[in-house]
Chain A
Amino acid sequence: MNEALLSKANFPVFEVYKNLVYLDNSATQQKPRSVIERVDRYYREENANPMRGLYGLSVSATEAYDSAREAVCKFIGADSTREIIFTRNATESLNLVAYSWGRANISEGDELLVAISEHHSDLLPWQILAKEKGAVLKYLECDQTGLYTAEALRAALSEKTKLFAIAQISNIFGRLNPIKEFAEICHANGTLIVCDGAQSVPHIPVDVKDLGVDFLAFSGHKMLAPMGIGVLYGREELLEKMPPFLSGGEMIEYVTLCGATYAELPHKFEAGTVNAGGAVGLHAAIDYIGELGFEAIEKRENELTALAFEQMKQIPYVHIIGADDPAEHHGILAFTVEGVHPHDIAALMDSQDVAIRAGHHCAQPLHRHLGVQSTARASLAFYNDEQDIERFITALGDLRRRMGYGT
């Protein structure tokens, strides 16, 4: 564990924006110097089209790319690099499952179960699949604090339920779902479980074998890495039987005028030139997280979350969405302020250099379920500090006055 890595000083963006309080980490995280420099070095010293060339430079690009895949494999506890597919982001990973596995396995009358708090990325692909196949899309509901129960899941599954999709940590509630238990319940029912790890993989140790999930999707850019690189983990025996998602170069073994045989896993699902620069950046991000250690990350993020949570609760008219215990929030604090629309909250905060998110956070069905139109959201990362929280709280406390209310 190297505590120096907790510091903002490792993130060049804060040298440019010295006054910036960045609390939109669930949307995307800032990048540490080591990641930026690693990507820079790749393009200066190692770049060629990986897997294609028969010359030294292309071999070094291929090696850098392959070793990134090994790092991801170890990071999430997969059995083999054949189970690690590089995509652009969590959204593409989930679409890959819906298009490839979904179209091969879903037929009329089948049921798909989706947690109601899912991000649109883990909802629309299933909605479209259901519509196309004449399958039935069902929602698993949570309570107002974002709690999903095993009983509710058992009750919602039927013999026709082919798949259950749920985030390990919701981007609104920040609540950790008991994925391992849910996976057991699903499997006992012959149902696959797809886990959206976009908000969990950056913040807690995730082991796919321990969790027992069939698929896990996440984005590099939410965990210190560049934009444009994401991951789909899939159980090998499932991936093996799935048809390709996109087709083109790199994903075939032989092509003739009337057909093709597909490349081995994972290349079967990586059509076209890959994002090797992004992959090596993700590798550097995993190294950063590894050196810092999840223990330190969680400890720091939980401390800051608790600090923000307790102070928000002191401010009249502020309501936090989700559990009444900061330990259940994992750095995610969605909230409303009576009489002030979330867009106005964000605009006024921005005028004090405090960056937060406002809107429905790509989770419209959930907002409807909660009966709020939209919310504001502050989301933390380990590189935030006490001053950030203080500036946020001060801005929050001043909002209603600035909107013209007496208090």
Chain B
Amino acid sequence: MGLEDNFYGEVLLDHNLHPVHRHDLPCATCRTDGVNPSCGDDISLSLEIHDGIIENGAFTGVGCAVSQASADIMLELIIGKTTDEARHLAHLFDKMIRSEITESELEELEEAGALQNVSKMPARVKCAKLGWRTLESLLEENG
């Protein structure tokens, strides 16, 4: 029982302690909040979308290392991509968590692949998905 000592690998620890995209985004074109009621994690996601391209993005809020690092990694991945590409990545992330992802798909997720271990811990899945879930609902509301 128990996880490996390296469950929180370098990537996750680093994004948690030194998030790049954790700040306000004054020129955001859309914003929404995501809450994980089971642990009280809560993040606010802002994106600046022009002509279907996510030109910038940021998040604020509080939560565990998994939810915070996952959101930061997600933003790293989606900034500069189209909203369709972002949706596609969200879909892949979901597949990864459900352990249904292929090797090549996993490569597309880049650093987000560091969260693959989470699929083994049901209680943490919601934490890892919080940012992505919030992204999906934001994109749904805002094209």
Q: Which residues on A are within 8 Å of B, measured CB to CB?
A: 17, 20, 340-344, 347-348, 350-353, 358-360, 364, 367, 373-374, 402-405
Q: Name the segment of B49-57, B63-71, B86-94, B100-108 touching the other chain.
A: B63-71
Q: Which residue of chain B lies nearest to A17 when distances are taken between CB atoms in the complex? A: B1
B62 CB to nearest chain A CB (Å): 6
Contact A404 B39 (CB under 8 A): no
In the A-B complex, the 6 residue pairs with the smallest Cβ-Cβ separation, listed nearest first, are A341-B64, A343-B64, A404-B13, A351-B3, A344-B65, A374-B40
Instruction: Please give me the residue from chain A that is nearest to B10 by CB atom.
Output: A404
Check if B1 sits within 8 Å of A343, measured CB to CB: no
Smallest beta-carbon distance A155→chain B, Å: 31
| Cβ contact of A373, chosen from B16, B62, B127, cutoff 8 A | B62
- The 20 sampled A-B contact pairs (Cβ below 8 Å) are A341-B63, A343-B65, A343-B66, A343-B124, A347-B7, A347-B8, A347-B121, A348-B7, A348-B8, A351-B3, A352-B2, A353-B2, A358-B39, A360-B39, A367-B40, A374-B39, A403-B8, A403-B16, A404-B16, A404-B17
Question: In the bound complex, how far is the Cα of B2 from the Cα of A173, in angstroms?
Answer: 28
Q: Flag whether B140 is at the interface (Cβ < 8 A).
A: no
Q: Please report which residues of chain B, range 1-57, place their CB below 8 angstroms from some CB of chain A when the two chains form the complex.
A: 1-5, 7-8, 13-14, 16-17, 38-41
Contact B3 A360 (CB under 8 A): no
* Known contacts A351-B4, A352-B2, then 14 further A-B pairs from the complex at CB < 8 Å, ordered by chain A residue: A17-B1, A341-B64, A344-B8, A344-B64, A347-B7, A347-B8, A350-B1, A350-B2, A351-B3, A353-B2, A358-B39, A402-B5, A403-B13, A404-B13
Residues of B within 8 A of A20 (CB): 1
Interface residues on B, range: 20 to 34
Contacts of B65 in A (CB 8 A): 340-341, 343-344, 403
In the complex, the answer to whether B2 meets A351 with C-beta atoms within 8 Å is yes
Q: Please determine whether A347 and B124 come into contact, CB atoms closer than 8 angstroms.
A: yes
Contact (Cβ within 8 A) B8 A402: yes
User: Chain B residues near A347 (CB, 8 Å)?
Assistant: 3, 7-8, 66, 121, 124
> Are A373 and B40 neighbours in the complex by a CB distance under 8 Å?
yes
Closest CB in chain A relative to B1 CB, distance in Å = 6
